[in-house]
Amino acid sequence: MKVLLFAHGSTGDVLPIVAIAKALAARGHSPLVAAPDHFANLVEGNGASFLPTGADFRAAAEQTLRGKADDNRSHHDGVSWGGAWSALRARRSMFHTMAANLLSHVSDFDLLTFTFPGRAVAAFLATAANLPAVLTLSAPGIATGEQPHVFFPQRRWGALYNRMTYSLSEGATWPVFSSDVRSLVNEFRPSSFDWSRIHAIHHNRLPTAGLWSPLLSPRPNDWSEDVRVVGHPFVNQSEAWTPPDDLVRFLDAGAPPVYVGFGSIPARNPRRLAELVLEAISRAGVRAVLLKGWGGLELPSHDENVYVGESLPHDWLFPRMAAVVHHCGCGTAHAGLRAGVPTVPTPVLMDQPFWAERLHRAGVATKPIPRKALTETRLADALRQAVTDEELIRNARELGARLRAEDGASSAADVIEAAYERTAVAAPV
């Protein structure tokens, strides 16, 4: 089976797809990961084949979240509405570029998988090429009466409220989604195009692999049998990675530090956010490893209790930490839990508040501090709790051991194989 794995999004979207590609390859299949160009080293360096899509997801994220580069009024992060409007206009051009780069390839494959951020392009490609498709989700976004949509307040107000949140979400996103698809149809003019399939994909009525642990968010009982929660797929990046000598010396020089990093969420005022973090670290009396990430944190001065890195593999670093402070994207949330250490969640947007709350509810994280509410005092208090609360530390260690027993990549490969087999059986002889 030849599988095109379309992974549009941030590092947290792409890395699990690399793990799935490797699991498929180990079974004798031929997977190819299509992702934004700047992920070439990440994909190929971890043993998967790569096809560039021509997109720059990082630039789009920075434009949406950071807005004007000279907006230094606060360190509070979230959607910059001026930036979001500009990004929305540039987004369609990016979608057309990706479709143009991939359309000539899709007919070479037996099945397409895709991440949610690239849904419109994937829906167009799968429908234009009449190709079976599998959705890989990083958060529960499929209608159920058992819990609200991840983008809505997680209130326990019953099935009616829960289902209403999905109806509102689907109704709000259909105009943009359908317009994006129609623009691609008008540009590339496929010989046939089944709009009923576009409706089905928009309503998530297709085989789906939920790339999260059921320990954090169990599978609702009213989901279709085509939807499985498989666990989070991990790539063992540390296998082919050697830590820098100065990092090893820093870790050996004292007590286990805390990790601080904000992943793919750019900061509007990186220097102010770095100052806040350093002050909180000082007040809490802890050492820290600080990763600049896409946030581009700017350190005002050298601090012997802080190690600064550009990018370090979480699977190597996190088990050596006393706690981890991060934005709570799905990938980082699961990496922290897998390491068996407490989390200090500082969510910003999208599914991050959901995962932050799920970690806290599981007893492995301090109370979430939304980035807009982050202060030196609140972060220092949370850091002290994370490294001293014995119940929190024990819970993280025990739940981490249970999560390490899951094999999300292999289970996702099962979903993909099953979807292809059903299609093969249904095809006319």
Distance CA 238, CA 327 (A): 22
Q: Which of 59-68, 84-93, 143-152, 381-390 has the lowest mean pLDDT?
A: 59-68
Q: According to the per-residue pLDDT averaged within each range, which of 91-105, 290-304, 374-388 is highest?
A: 374-388
Distance CA 178, CA 169 (A): 14
Count, residues in the chain: 429
Within 13 Å, how many C-alpha atoms sit on residue 378's CB side? 14
SS3 content of the chain, % helix, strand, coil (to 5): 50, 10, 40
pLDDT in tens, 179-206: 999 999 999 999 889 999 999 999 999 9
Domain 2-232+407-426 has CATH 3.30.2310.20: no
Within 13 Å, how many C-alpha atoms sit on residue 387's CB side? 22
The band of 73, judged by pLDDT with boundaries at 50, 70 and 90, is very low
Average pLDDT estimate for 69-91: 52
Residue linked to tokens 């509405």: 81
pLDDT at residue 154 is higher than 90: no
Distance CA 317, CA 186 (A): 48
The band of 300, judged by pLDDT with boundaries at 50, 70 and 90, is low
Q: Where in the chain is the domain with CATH 3.40.50.2000?
A: 2-232+407-426, 237-404
Fold assignment, 237-404: Rossmann fold (3.40.50)
Distance CA 370, CA 77 (A): 9
The band of 92, judged by pLDDT with boundaries at 50, 70 and 90, is confident
Distance CA 60, CA 16 (A): 21
Average pLDDT estimate for 238-247: 88
The band of 224, judged by pLDDT with boundaries at 50, 70 and 90, is very high
Residue linked to tokens 């350190």: 299
